[in-house]
Amino acid sequence: MKPFDILLLECSPRTDATSTRLVHRLLDALRPRIDGKVRLTERRIGAEPLPPISAAYAESLLLPIAEARERYGAELSLSDELVSELERADLLLIATPVHNFTIPAALKTWIDYVVRREVTFKSTPQGKVDLLRDRPTLVAVTSGGAMFRDPPQQPDFFRPYLHAALGVMGLNSVRFVQTTGLAFSDTPMNTVETAARAWLEEGLQQFTRTLRRETVPS
């Protein structure tokens, strides 16, 4: 049977990152609730950033896919690899800080590699149509200041942007677990642990129900 595939993106450049701690607490709690074997693909794109997209890759996006492959084949290989990791994932976990009201550049670069015309979405006269199946996506996000407050104290380009960028490929089941105001905490890791425990009590059970294994054998 195909293992249950988890793709984990760690987007902070920091070694002792609060967002990484948060996501691992959630993962530790989710793992025993998943039937069968779990295959974890971990991408530390914050600490080991993906290269910036190349001119060849940008040019290739303007071409029909067959022509793009013929002309730029080898230069699409990183994108192909990242897309296939995403395609096979039954669960996408993203651990990320807020950087200047939105996602860090490292995560934006990953998005630029996976949001691909004729691969993960197609363009139609009516607009963009997704090509990937939906799958549960959990975003563990931490911020130094007062993000995600109502009324807002900082503009939120983070959640609307991620909803749009993941949604264009078909990933619409996106949940956020957020810990904010860490710059005002003397013990940010304790604050993260408290937030993780709160989600485990309030959100874990419901989120676990959304986990479905793809039935394709491998």
Q: Do 176 and 185 touch, CB atoms closer than 8 A?
A: no
Among 154, 173, 185, 210, binds ligand FMN (CB under 6 A): 154
Please check whether residue 20 is in contact with residue 76, taking contact to mean a CB–CB distance below 8 angstroms: no
- Which residue in 61, 82, 98, 165 binds ligand FMN (CB under 6 A)? 98
Using CB under 6 A as the binding rule, whether residue 71 contacts ligand FMN is answered as no
**Of the two residues 61 and 182, which places its CB atom closer to ligand FMN in the complex?**
182
CB atoms within 10 A of CB 53: 16
Structure tokens belonging to residue 11 = 């987007």
Nearest to 172 by CA among 202, 132, 216, 203: 132
Q: Give the integer Cα–Cα distance in Å for 80 and 173.
A: 23
Is position 100 an interface residue for ligand FMN (rule: CB under 6 A)? Answer: yes
Q: Give the tokens for residue 48.
A: 């080991």
Q: Interface with ligand FMN includes 27 (CB under 6 A)?
A: no
Work out whether 17 is an interface residue with ligand FMN (CB under 6 A): yes
Closer residue to ligand FMN, CB minimum distance, 79 or 142: 142
Whether omega before 104 lies within 30 degrees of 0, making that bond cis, reads no
Q: Does 194 bind ligand FMN (CB under 6 A)?
A: no
Closest CA to 211 of 175, 178, 179: 175
Take residue 24 and report the two structure tokens written for it: 């691992």
Question: Which of the ranges 30-38, 85-93, 96-104, 160-168 carries the binding residues for ligand FMN, by CB under 6 A?
Answer: 96-104
Q: How far apart are CA 79 and CA 118, in angstroms?
A: 13
**Cβ 53 to ligand FMN shortest distance, Å:** 21
Tell me which of 120, 137, 142, 178 binds ligand FMN, using CB under 6 A.
142
Work out how close the CB of 205 gets to ligand FMN at its nearest, in angstroms, rounded to a whole number: 26
- Residues 163-192 touching ligand FMN, rule: CB under 6 A, are 182
**SS3 for 125?**
coil
The yes or no reply on residue 145 touching ligand FMN (CB under 6 A) is yes
Residues that bind ligand FMN (CB under 6 A): 12, 14, 17-19, 97-101, 142-145, 147, 154, 182
